[in-house]
Amino acid sequence: MQSRRLDLPSLTAIRAFEVAARRQSFKDAADELCVTPAAISRQIKQLEAQLATVLFVRGHRQVTLTAAGERLFRATNTAFDEITSAAREIRGQVADSYLNLHATSSFSRLWMVPRLSRLRQLYPNLHLHLISVESTPGEADKFDAAVTLGLHELAGYQAEFLFAEEIFPVCTPEFLKDNPQADSLQGLQQLPLLDLDPAFWQARWWSPVDWHFWLRHCGVENPQVKAQMYFSHFPMLLDTVLEGLGVGLGWRHLTDDLLRSGRLIRPVAESYAAPERKHYFVCRQELANEPGMQLLRDWLLEETAGLRR
């Protein structure tokens, strides 16, 4: 295979030759390729030198192919047609199909949606069907792909690790200004704390992370806290935090964008890093090498790279 590739002429010269042969004019070829006629002439001379034969009979305003030129033109024309056909087929495979991606409502709304515009710009032919779920889909769901909480062993599926969880308090800058005691673990216990409803955790594989759990992890032996409000979904809790009504626990992958924008801040430095609470991209093995699935997987891995550091 390698020796065959060594016999291959310059592809730039081949491209110039194909256009010149098709247009029967160096000038018209130059116009199509947005170069000068002199550049086309140089490429053709280089190709003729590589092949040790004359490919064109030069006329005043037109060129015609020699027998060798005709042979090469048939080959290049066939090759370019096959490349064009393959490219259209690949584009069509991506464009004509929708990928079903299951993810929690929190991940879909707070992580995926802010990035959909960038994904669309990069891969305009990649079409997603986002499906919001509150628990990791099972084998019976016959899903195409999912961002899962933890890794279930599913026959016929493969997984890529995306990130592990990190959890810390978040509030608005205005809330901290009005409640400066929020900058300590002791002070936090005196403030309106927002928490997730215990029922929220029933669909999760892991134990709940509420204020009692988080404060105990940070060394507070007997936390004296009672949630001011409970919420059935994390986006509702976060919306309430953004309204300046209290402090909530924030998951890094769901709050990073708001922290970077300055709409939220971390009032204390303490954090609960949970390397065992891992999230994965899981997809059906039979679809793993499909162009659209590869694009989605690579994009998710690239976008979550910062969370793996």
Determine whether 223 is exposed, middle or buried from the number of CB atoms within 10 Å of its CB (0-12, 13-18, 19+): middle
Write out the two tokens for 17: 């030759």
Query: What is the structure's pLDDT at 201?
Result: 81
pTM of the predicted model over 0.75: no
The answer to whether 305 and 157 have CB atoms below 8 angstroms apart is no
Contact residues for 306 (Cβ-Cβ < 8 A; gap 6+): 256
What 81-88 contacts at long range (C-beta under 8 Å, 24+ apart), as own/partner pairs, is none
Query: What is the structure's pLDDT at 204?
Result: 67
| Side-chain-facing half-sphere of 18: CA atoms under 13 Å | 16
d(CA 118, CA 269): 31
Report the CATH number of the 98-162+276-308 domain: 3.40.190.10
The ranges assigned to domains in the chain are 2-94, 98-162+276-308, 165-275
Query: What is the structure's pLDDT at 132?
Result: 87
Query: What is the structure's pLDDT at 3?
Result: 47
Query: What is the structure's pLDDT at 116?
Result: 94
d(CA 49, CA 54): 8
Query: What is the structure's pLDDT at 199?
Result: 80
Equal fold, 2-94 vs 165-275? no
Query: What is the structure's pLDDT at 139?
Result: 63
Query: What is the structure's pLDDT at 93?
Result: 54
Nearest to 146 by CA among 297, 289, 290, 281: 281
Write out the two tokens for 166: 């990190």
Q: What is the pLDDT along the chain (309 residues), one digit of tens a residue?
A: 444 555 788 888 999 999 999 889 999 888 888 889 899 999 999 999 999 999 999 887 789 999 999 999 999 988 888 887 777 666 555 445 688 999 998 999 999 999 999 999 999 888 899 998 877 777 667 789 999 988 877 888 999 999 999 999 999 999 999 999 999 999 999 999 999 998 888 766 678 899 999 999 999 988 888 899 999 999 999 999 999 999 999 999 999 999 999 999 999 999 999 999 999 999 999 999 998 999 999 999 999 999 987
pLDDT in tens, 27-66: 988 888 888 989 999 999 999 999 999 999 988 778 999 9
The answer to whether 268 and 196 have CB atoms below 8 angstroms apart is no
Query: What is the structure's pLDDT at 257?
Result: 94
Fold of 2-94: Arc Repressor Mutant, subunit A (1.10.10)
Reported residue count of the chain is 309
Q: Are strands 56-58 and 63-65 parallel, antiparallel or unpaired?
A: antiparallel
Angle, helices 291-303 vs 67-95, to 10°: value is: 70
Angle (nearest 5°) at CA 157 between 155 and 160: 135
Phi, psi torsion values for 154, nearest 5 degrees: -120, 125
Nearest to 132 by CA among 152, 109, 110: 109
Fold of 165-275: D-Maltodextrin-Binding Protein; domain 2 (3.40.190)
Nearest to 101 by CA among 309, 255, 295, 304: 295
